[in-house]
Structure 1
Amino acid sequence: MVHHTRIRLAATAAVAVAALGLTACGSGSGDEVVDKPKAKASATAEGAAEKEAPAEKSSAAPEVAKVGDTLALKGMEAGSGLDVTVVKVADNARSGDEFFAPESGNRWIGVQFQLVNTGTKVYSDAPVNGAKMTDDQGQQFGTVLADITAGPSMSSDVRLKPGAKTLGWIVFELPKASKAATVTFGMDSGFAEQIGEWKLS
């Protein structure tokens, strides 16, 4: 147990150091929450039909992003941007390593993110630093550097040229009794002004 605790602490320290390195670059984070999804390409025909009868949707609540939706986010530097999609969620995710598992009383929730560089500059970051999960009580949870059986993990060192994309799982550790409510993602290890938010329940 001591060995695995050291691995967990070392991983957490590495993420914290990476995040601290960015504090000097920007003052605050999350000044703007983005939760309105981009229109899906497959919904073009439906969109044409909706234009004919806009009154039907006028009384509906504003649409907020959920699993499967894409949010357009901007980074701190001019010309940096991502289209971020929460592709899938795996609650009670199983560890891909027989020696590494959630702490007693906790569980892992995996979220598969797709990142597409929509900017004019190379995107270079550790995406796990910019992701957080909140439960229905308002408690926030950070990420765990873990491999799960649902699929390959998001790289801790992503570099994307304009137009390129990457796909991978980011893992969060929550108490078994907690109900996941939202997941958020921000560029620049979470220090960008725009933070994307997806509703999970």
Structure 2
Amino acid sequence: MPGGRAPARVPRRPRLRGALATVALLGPLLLGAGPDGSGETVSLAGNEPGQRLDVTLVRVVDPASPADPEGPAADASTRLLAARFRLENTGTVEYNDSPAPAAHLLDTAGKRFAGLNTATTAGPSFPDTVTLGPGGSAEGFVTFRLPKDAGPAAVQFALNGGLADDVGQWSLP
């Protein structure tokens, strides 16, 4: 497989803090992603019957620049990171969800950052809501705001606004 081992399907875990969070979230669960994304696909189930997506982390841009100089931007203590995902509805029902809150970034200190719909020059972001019939697909960026000195460690994605029990995870170099 390109970029090393396949991405992980991570069971949903209760939120942990500090060093325990780092070990629990980033330890043996981080599996190979290349510098621009792993290109690996994870099949994820939603909380309702028939909900299933194949999710691929295509590319990661770090740092990312805001698309609109007048819009929200990173300040002196933060930066933007943009992750491009490809979503393919492999289920039997329509996928109707918001990809930004479905995605999270984990840093090397175990902190978790929620995805944003902030447009960057990396490329087009997903709309607020993506609707895909069975067999449909879409591609777009989800943006994360994180401290300038944070080391990105992994990106996660789960259906149902990030609340599904089935979680895909890709490690970042």
Class of the TM-score when normalised by the shorter of the 2 chains: 0.7 to 0.9
One-letter code aligned to 1:82 = L
Native 8 Å contact 2:64 2:79 kept in 1? yes
Instruction: Note the C-alpha offset of 1:161.
Output: 0.3
Unaligned regions of 5+ residues in structure 2, if any? 1-10, 14-27
Structure-2 separation of matches of 1:171 and 1:159: 20
Name the structure 2 match of 1:58: none
In structure 1, distance between residues paired with 2:64 and 2:29: 31
- Which of the numbers 91, 94, 107 marks the counterpart of 1:119? 91
Q: Residues 169-188 of structure 1, C-alpha deviation per residue, up to 9 Å, x if partnerless?
A: 00001111011000000000
Q: Aligned residue for 1:163?
A: 135
Match 2:162 to one of 190, 193, 201: 190
Q: How does 1:49-198 map to 2 (within 5 A)?
A: 64-66=31-33, 67-100=38-71, 101-198=73-170
Structure 1: gaps (5+ residues): 1-28, 32-60
Q: Is the 8 A contact 1:131 1:186 kept in 2?
A: yes
Tell me which residue corresponds to 2:12: 30
Q: Contact 2:81–2:145 at 8 Å: present in 1 too?
A: yes
CA drift at 1:130: 1.0
What does the per-residue CA deviation read over 1:16-70, in whole Å, with 9 as the maximum and x for residues that have no partner?
A: xxxxxxxxxxxxx825xxxxxxxxxxxxxxxxxxxxxxxxxxxxx9993522111
In 1, Cα distance between equivalents of 2:102 and 2:69: 27
How many pairs were matched up?
145
**What is aligned with 1:51?**
none
Q: Contact 2:30 / 2:171 at 8 angstroms: preserved in 1?
A: no
Q: Compute the RMSD of aligned alpha carbons.
A: 2.0
Whose helix fraction is larger, Structure 1's or Structure 2's?
1
Report sequence identity in percent: 36
Contact 1:145 1:171 survives alignment (8 Å): yes
> Could you say if the C-alpha distance between residues 63 and 126 of structure 1 is closer, same or farther in structure 2, counting changes exceeding 3 Å?
closer
Query: Aligned-pair distance for 1:158?
Result: 0.5
Distance of 2:85 and 2:159 partners within structure 1: 13
> TM-score when scaled to structure 2?
0.79
How many Å apart are 1:104 and its aligned residue? 2.4
Structure number with the higher strand fraction is 2
Flag the 1:103–1:165 CA change in 2: closer, same or farther, 3 A. same
TM-score for the superposition, normalised by structure 1 = 0.68
